[in-house]
Structure 1
Amino acid sequence: MIKGGRGTDVGRLRGWLPELPEPGPQRALVWSSFVNRVGTGMFLATSALYFTVIVGIPARQVGTGLSIAGLAALLGSVPAGTLADRVGPRTVQLVTLAVQTVTMALFVVVHSWWAFTLVAAFDYVADAANNAARGALIGRVGGERPALFRAKLRTFVSVAVVAGTLLAAVAIQIGTRGAYLTVILVNAVSYVVCALLLLRVPDFAPLPRPPGTRRFAALADRPYAAFAILNGLINLQAVVVTLLIPLWIAARTHIPHGVAAAVFGLNFLVGVLLMQPVGRRIETAEQGGRALRIAGLAIAAGCAVLAGSGSGPRWTETVVLLGGAAVVCGAGVWVTAAGFSLSFELAPAHAQGQYQGLTLLGLDAASAIGPALLTALVLGLGGPGWVILGAGFAAAGSAGPSVTRWAERTRPERAGSLENPGNITAPEPA
C-alpha cells in the first residue's frame, strides 16, 4: 500500500504539482484568475486570425494597431496602481474587468483599422490597470508570504492559458466567422465570471500613507526604478523562448518546425513543475537579488548552447537546441520568482499598487523594444549573436544583488510588510 507521507515518492511528487490553497480569499483569487486566463488564452490564440482573415484587416495594419495599443498601455500601470492604493485594489479590478467586458464585445462589431486600434487601445490600458491592481490585491491576500502565493497563482494561470489555447484550436479548426465570434464572446463572459468570483475576495481598505511620504513615491524611487528596468531586461528571457527560438529554427537551422511547439510545451511543463518549489526558496529581497544573478548566468549558458544548434546533422541540431532551450526555460522560473519577491519586498505596504504598476511599466517597456533588437542580433549574426545576447543577460543578472542592496538600504522599514492585514471590509456575498 502506497501512502502519501511527506517522505514517500507520492509525497515528494505532490510537492512538485500545483497546490490549491485552502478555501478562503486565496482560493477565490486563484479561481477568478483561472477563469480570466482561460478566456485570455482562447482570445490570444485566435485574435490574429480573426482580425486578418475574418475582419479583413491587413496583417501589417493589425501589428501597427497593436503597437499603438501597447504604447497606450504604458500610461495606465502606475496611475491605476496609485488609484488601487487609494480606493482599494479590488474596486479597481472590478472596474477594469467591466471595461474589458465592453471592449471585448466591441471587437465583434469592429470592421475598420481605426475602430480596431481604438478598441484595442482601451482594452490594453484596462488590462494594464487590471494587472497593477491585481498585483496589489495579491500582496494583500498573500499576507506575510505574497511572493510564494503569487508563485502558486502563476502555476494555475499557466495551466489556464494552455487550456484556453487548446479550446481555441477547436475554433481555428472550424474556421467559420461564428466560431471566432464565439471565442470572443466567451472571453467577454469570462471577465464577468472573473468579477463575480472576485467578490469572494475581501475588499481590503487602503492602508494610510505615512506622514512625509510622497504621493507618487514610486516615480522618485531610483533604486526601485533600477530594479524595474533590470527586471524588464532579464524577463526578455521569455522572448527568447516564445519568439527567438522559433524564428531561429525556421531561418537558421534544418530542425523540423514542429520542434518549436515542443519548446512551448517544455516551457509550460518546466514552469508548472518548478514554479512552486523555486518560489518557496526565493521569498526575501536578498534571495531575489541572488536569484537574478543565478538566472542571468544560466540564461547565458543556455544561449551558448543554442549558438551551437545552427550546424551539423539535423538530429544533433535538434538535441542541442532542446538542451539549450531547457536551460533557458528553467532559468525563466528563477527570473519570475525573483521578480515576485523583489517587487513585494521593496515596495512600501501602503503603495503596493503604485510600485506594482512601475514594475509592469518596466516589463512592458522592455517588451516593446526587446523583440526587434533580439531578433536582429541573433538572426543577423547567427551563433555569435547568441553569445553576445547571453553576455547581456549575464551582465543584467550580475547587477541583481547590488541593485537589491542599494534598494534595501533606502527602505525606511521592511517595505513589503503588510501591517494590519485584517484592515478589510466585509466581503460581499457572491
Structure 2
Amino acid sequence: MIGEDARQGSSGVPAPSGPQRALIVASFVSRVGNGLFNTAAVLYFTLVVHLPAAQVGVGLTVAGLTGLLAGIPAGNLADRYGPRRVWLTSLAMQAATMAAFVLIQSWVTFTLIATLDRLAATASGAAGGAVVARAGGERPAAFRARLRTFVNLGVVLGTLGAAFAVSAGTRTAYTVLVLANAASFACAGLIALVGIPDYRPLPRPAEHRRGAVLADRPFLSFAALYGAMGLQYQAVSLLLPIWLSARTDAPRWTVAAVYAVNSGVCVLLQSRIGSRVETPREGGRAFRIAGLLFLVSCPLMALTADVPSWTAPALAVLAVCVHSLGEVWESSAGFALGFGLAPDHAQGQYQGLFGVCFDAGQALAPVILTTAVLGLGHAGWLLLGAFFAALGAAGPPVAAWAERTRLTGQDTAGADHDRPAGAPVPDTA
C-alpha cells in the first residue's frame, strides 16, 4: 500500500516516469526563458534597437503569419523521422535565432530573424506535441495537466525575472534577457537529448496520406473552435488591461494583480482539473464548461467601469478568477480532444494543424478585441462572452461526431479506428 501511494502521490495521480520528468523539466526551462523575453520584447525592440513601434508591429505580424506555414510540414517530418529529433532541431534553431536578436540593426534584419524564429517555434510546437503524445503513459491527461502546470509556473518565474531588467532599462540588461532565452532553448534541448527516448516512427497504414489531417473534418472543426476560443487568453492579457486603464479609475497595480491571479489559479488548479479530463467526450463537456465560465467573466470585466475606484480592483480579481477557471477547463479540453482524436502514427501533423489554428486565432485576436469589443464598450464584452459560450456549446456535439466517425472509419483518412479515442499511445522506443 505504501509503495502504491508513493507511485501515485497523495492526489492519486501517477508519479511521472523518467521521460515525463525530463519533458517537464525541459519545458519548464524553455518557458522560463520565454517569460523573460516576451515580457520585455517590445521594449527591447523599441527602446534599445530604436525601431518605431509601428515597424515592430508589422514585423511581428509578418513573422507570425509566415510561421504558420511550418506547422503541418514539421509535423509530417516528426511522424516520418521521429518526433524527438525534429523537436531538438527546432529548439536549436530557436536558440540561434533568439541569440541573433542582439545583432539586429534594421527593420529588415529584425523581420527576417523574427520570421525564422516563428517558423522554428511553430515546428517546435508540432514536434513537441508529438513527443508529449508518445510520453503520455497510462494516464496521459494527468501527465499533460502536470506539464502545463509547470509550463505556467515557468512563465510566471520568467516574467518576475524580466521585471528587474525592465526596471534597470539598460541595453546590457535587455541583452541578458535575450541571451538567457536563447540559453533556455539550448538547455531544454540538452535535457531532452539526455532524458527523452528517441521515439521511432510508428507504422503507418497503407491508406495514410501526408495531408490526412486536412480530411479529418471532426478534428478540423474542433481545431477551428479551439483557435477561436483562444481569444480568451488575450481578453485577460490585452483587452482587460486596456479597459482598466482607459475606462476605470482603478489603481495601476490592478493590472499586475490581474496577471498574478490568472497565473496563480492556472498553476494551482490545472493538475487537479486536467487530470480528470481523459477522453474526447469528457473534453467536449470541459469545453462547454469553459464557455459558460467565460460567459460569466466577460460581463464582470465590463462592470469594472461602473463601480467606484476602490471596488474595481476587487471586481477585476473576481472576474479573472472565474475566467482563469474557464481557461483551465478549456486547456484540458484541448488536451483531451487535440491528442485523443489524433491517430498514433500521425500525432505530428495533427499537433501541427492544431497549433496553426491556435496561432492564427492569436494573430487575429488583437485586431478583433481592440476594434470590435473596445469599440462597442459594454455591449462588446457581452457579445464576447456570448461568443465564447456558443463555441463551448459546440464542444460536446463535435466530440460525439468525432467518436462516431472513428468507430465507422469515416472522415479520418487513415486513423487507428481500432484504438479507443483518448487511449494512451504505446511506447515503442
Match of 1:119 in 2: 113
Instruction: Quote the offset at 1:241 in angstroms.
Output: 0.9
| 1:261 and 2:246 are equivalent in the alignment | no
User: Which of 144-153 and 105-114 deviates more?
Assistant: 144-153
TM-score of the pair, normalised by structure 1: 0.92
Q: Deviations over 1:18-74 (max 9, x none)?
A: x89445111111111111111111111222111111111111111110000000111
Shift in alpha-carbon separation, 1:165–1:321, aligned structure 2, 3 A:
closer
Match of 2:93 in 1: 99
**Letter paired with 2:56:** V
Q: Secondary structure at the match of 2:311?
A: helix
| 1:219 and 2:214 are equivalent in the alignment | yes
**Letter paired with 1:373:** I
Q: Secondary structure at the match of 2:69?
A: coil
Match of 2:67 in 1: 73
Match of 1:86 in 2: 80
| 1:364 and 2:362 are equivalent in the alignment | no
Q: Deviations over 1:314-343 (max 9, x none)?
A: 223333322222111111100001100111
Instruction: Quote the offset at 1:401 in angstroms.
Output: 0.5
Match of 2:229 in 1: 234
- Contact 2:140/2:424 (CA < 8 Å) preserved in 1? no
Q: Secondary structure at the match of 1:164?
A: helix
Q: How many angstroms apart in 1 are the aligned matches of 2:77 and 2:104?
A: 31
Q: Deviations over 1:338-392 (max 9, x none)?
A: 1001111100010011111111111011111122112223221221111111111
- Contact 1:349/1:417 (CA < 8 Å) preserved in 2? no
User: 1:365-404 counterparts in 2 under 5 A?
Assistant: 365-404=360-399
User: 1:196-345 counterparts in 2 under 5 A?
Assistant: 196-199=190-193, 200-345=195-340
- Contact 2:278/2:422 (CA < 8 Å) preserved in 1? no
Q: How many angstroms apart in 1 are the aligned matches of 2:74 and 2:140?
A: 20
Q: Which structure 1 residue ranges, 5 or more long, are not aligned?
A: 1-5, 425-430
| 1:189 and 2:189 are equivalent in the alignment | no
Q: Deviations over 1:170-228 (max 9, x none)?
A: 22222221222122122222222111100110010000111222221101111110000
User: Which of 344-353 and 305-314 deviates more?
Assistant: 305-314
Q: How many angstroms apart in 2 are the aligned matches of 1:127 and 1:20?
A: 30
- Contact 1:349/1:416 (CA < 8 Å) preserved in 2? no
Match of 2:347 in 1: 352
- Contact 2:145/2:270 (CA < 8 Å) preserved in 1? yes
| 1:167 and 2:164 are equivalent in the alignment | no
| C-alpha RMSD over aligned residues | 2.0
- Contact 1:30/1:156 (CA < 8 Å) preserved in 2? yes
- Identity fraction in percent: 50
Q: How many angstroms apart in 2 are the aligned matches of 1:35 and 1:77?
A: 23
Shift in alpha-carbon separation, 1:419–1:331, aligned structure 2, 3 A:
closer
State the number of aligned residues: 412
- Contact 2:95/2:185 (CA < 8 Å) preserved in 1? yes
Q: How many angstroms apart in 2 are the aligned matches of 1:38 and 1:312?
A: 37
Instruction: Quote the offset at 1:15 in angstroms.
Output: 4.3
Q: How many angstroms apart in 1 are the aligned matches of 2:271 and 2:424?
A: 22
Q: Which structure 2 residue ranges, 5 or more long, are not aligned?
A: 407-416
Shift in alpha-carbon separation, 1:251–1:57, aligned structure 2, 3 A:
same
Match of 1:406 in 2: 401
**Letter paired with 1:70:** G
Q: Secondary structure at the match of 1:74?
A: helix
Q: How many angstroms apart in 2 are the aligned matches of 1:225 and 1:48?
A: 33
Q: Secondary structure at the match of 1:214?
A: coil
- Contact 2:93/2:120 (CA < 8 Å) preserved in 1? yes
Shift in alpha-carbon separation, 1:319–1:313, aligned structure 2, 3 A:
same
- Contact 1:296/1:393 (CA < 8 Å) preserved in 2? yes
Match of 2:44 in 1: 50
**Letter paired with 2:129:** G
Q: How many angstroms apart in 2 are the aligned matches of 1:21 and 1:193?
A: 24
Q: Deviations over 1:283-329 (max 9, x none)?
A: 11000001111110110011122232211322233333222221111
Q: Secondary structure at the match of 1:282?
A: coil
Q: Secondary structure at the match of 1:204?
A: coil
Q: How many angstroms apart in 2 are the aligned matches of 1:77 and 1:416?
A: 22
Q: Secondary structure at the match of 1:315?
A: coil
Q: How many angstroms apart in 2 are the aligned matches of 1:312 and 1:100?
A: 45
User: Which of 239-248 and 317-326 deviates more?
Assistant: 317-326
Q: How many angstroms apart in 2 are the aligned matches of 1:420 and 1:82?
A: 19
Q: Secondary structure at the match of 2:138?
A: coil
**Letter paired with 1:347:** A
- Contact 1:20/1:27 (CA < 8 Å) preserved in 2? no
* Selected match of 1:24 from 9, 12, 18: 18
Q: How many angstroms apart in 1 are the aligned matches of 2:162 and 2:319?
A: 29
Match of 1:427 in 2: none
| 1:156 and 2:150 are equivalent in the alignment | yes
Q: How many angstroms apart in 2 are the aligned matches of 1:46 and 1:383?
A: 31
